[in-house]
Structure 1
Amino acid sequence: MMPLTDAAIRNLGPRDKPYKVFDGHGLFILVNPSGSLLWRFRYRFNGREKLLSLGSYPLIGLKLAREKRDDARRLLVDGYDPSAERQKRRREEEPERELTFGDLSIEYMEKLRLEGRAEQTLRKQQWLIDLTLPRLGSMEVTEIRAPDVLSCLKEQEAEGKFETAARMRTTVGSVIRYAIASGRAVNDPTAALKGALVRPTKSHRSAILDRTQLGRLLLDIKKYHGEPKTAIALQLLAMLATRPGELRLANWSEFDLAAAIWRVPADRTKTRRPHRVPLPVQALELLQELEMFRMKSGLLFSSTQNWKRPISSNTLNVALRRMGYSKETMTAHGFRATFSTLANESGRWNSDAIERALGHVEGNEVRRAYARGEYWEERVELAQWWADQLDSYALEAAKERLV
């Protein structure tokens, strides 16, 4: 291997992929497809191979690059890691840098991950943070004032996204309060924004609550001409009243068909607690039918495009639209409201048992301490009653259409 010369370096041209040209004693120049030339020093410390950046050519010429390499080699002889020494020197020479909102948001998201928050929750939080970064990301967290946050939120309001603006305010406040708790900030500017935003109109997910209309919907689902697995998923959703995401990602390993139980793992529930779902006879029959489509992925509802992945979050709502049910009439999530309303109206069941069936957790901490039971026996009866009710609604709808 011949040592590099300035003439040889000037003649180095870019290729499709980065490549290295060595000089000697660990020094080489990295040639990128963009044409940039970067000096690197490769060395070993405590048995591990490491790289040290020495700058770019021609800002750092061949002679200076070799001097930097030799300085690093002398540190190695004395038992020091050149990379660690460089970082130490920078910390000593540079004044302590104030953390920016972007820096703190990374820490905050890591905190949420360590708390075991649901993946969907993490994605939503990151999305809201990303919306704030163009304006707030590079600002030191101690310098952010209420007008800075408000101008960021007003951009969303200008597009009519009032709910998004409100959620952004909450998320920004959470990040800054985390900074306050960890001693990196003193005041939360979002507190001063109370009442400054347009209050979004609360809208509940649409649901059919009329028994006759529900029967017609169930009949339409059974006669659905689309993907058979989608029809089964909608029937199970109506019957079991779980959250659509819990069913969409369900795996066969979670089901004990002999015991008629579906165990939803904690990492897929909104409450971050494991949830047991009793399976009525009709659900077991649907699951047996579904086994005809069983794939190696273990998913109950694999995508038709990629069997290793579940159906998309829109699949069930799209099916409802194809059957003629608008988003103002019925949604996949609305089956939960349907079950809750009609089960409570029947007067036959303990309201706490219905709440447990929905996977809800008591909000009152004192009451929660005294209501730890799952009401399992009652929920088993409730599940079978509800499945029988749905059958009766569908049967009435079928009779109506024959008239």
Structure 2
Amino acid sequence: MNYPLYEYSLCIALPLMLFFGAYFLLAPTPDKTIFANYLRSRRIMGCALLLLAANYAVHFFFEVRFRDVHTAILMNLSTYFLCYWLFSSALTTLLNRFYITRRRLRFHLSAWMLFTLLSGVILLGLPEGTTQRAGLTAMATWLVCYGLWLARRLIRAYRRAVRLFDDTLSDDIGAYIRWLSIFTYWAVIFGVGCGLLTFLPDRYVFLWILSSVPFYIYLYCSYMNYLLFYERVEQALEEETPSAEEAAADNPCNPDDMPDREARPGHTDLAARLSGWIAADGYLHPGLTIKELADTLQTNRTYLSEYIKATGNGSFRDWITNLRLEYAKRQLLRHPGQNISGIAEAAGFISPSHFTRIFKAREGVSPSSWRRSQLGNDPIS
């Protein structure tokens, strides 16, 4: 094996892991109560990174890979199993502050100890041969399935949060947590890849080390960037998750109070009130929520949400976005000299770039190109 290449890769990865882990554990956050959950998540992630750094340090200083390969594999498998749980817990906590419970903690720690014990028996207690290979295959399958199960739970939590935002908020709050989805899929690929690299011949083991560098850099940058948006996301989760009293009010027991796919007498009245609200350009208000609109129309938000979906307008955010886009189109034609940023702000979009992205996705061209084509200055072929 090319030992210098292996050592150089560890020299690159180990300081980064130690820095990221220590920073996540010790770096301060804004002195606000709302950041307590973010700090908890980051500290869990810091523990995971320091655990991985300890694994790297043992490989680097004691060269355990070359002294006893079975011990090295056991150490790697045990570390990955525990880190899978820590990683998924840290990220899921960002979306559900009540995710970590004593019962969950006991279950996953017990599973980790059982996994480590069985792996040790197979690697250190069984002679090399068919039986050991079969046992290692079973443990590797368990590790992969465990990681996929945790990833599935995280993706489900992410999708629930996005649905909540889309059904209750006019702004695209889901864009601020999209990195969680990207990181989860990357983590699955990386985790499975590292598990496989553990069993590769020694001359390829440096790939296991180097592959971690971009992965953890992305994680660090994502956590730091998320700090800028966390307060807004957490406030949205707090405000738009109804309490038990609100849920009871929003979900009346009488089925005649709930909308269905066919028109009800109450729909006509609600449609009239909505038409008046739209005519008054009420949808231009930045940060609009379905609760605010329901209060304005003197109805409950569950009824309003079901009505919007029943009339084919999609989620609340989709409906508001369509209204804002139509308003922006009218402004583009009425005011040919006005810049795109001003129109985006007037239409209620969170930023000009967000407006341009949404507009291009719907129309296939940028707002400025669309305006030129409509005014006859630059027709689209």
TM-score by length of 1: 0.24
- Point out the structure with the larger strand share: 1
- Structure number with higher relative contact order (C-alpha < 8 Å, ≥ 6 residues apart): 2
- Point out the structure with the larger helix share: 2
TM-score by length of 2: 0.26
Which structure has the bigger radius of gyration? Answer: 1
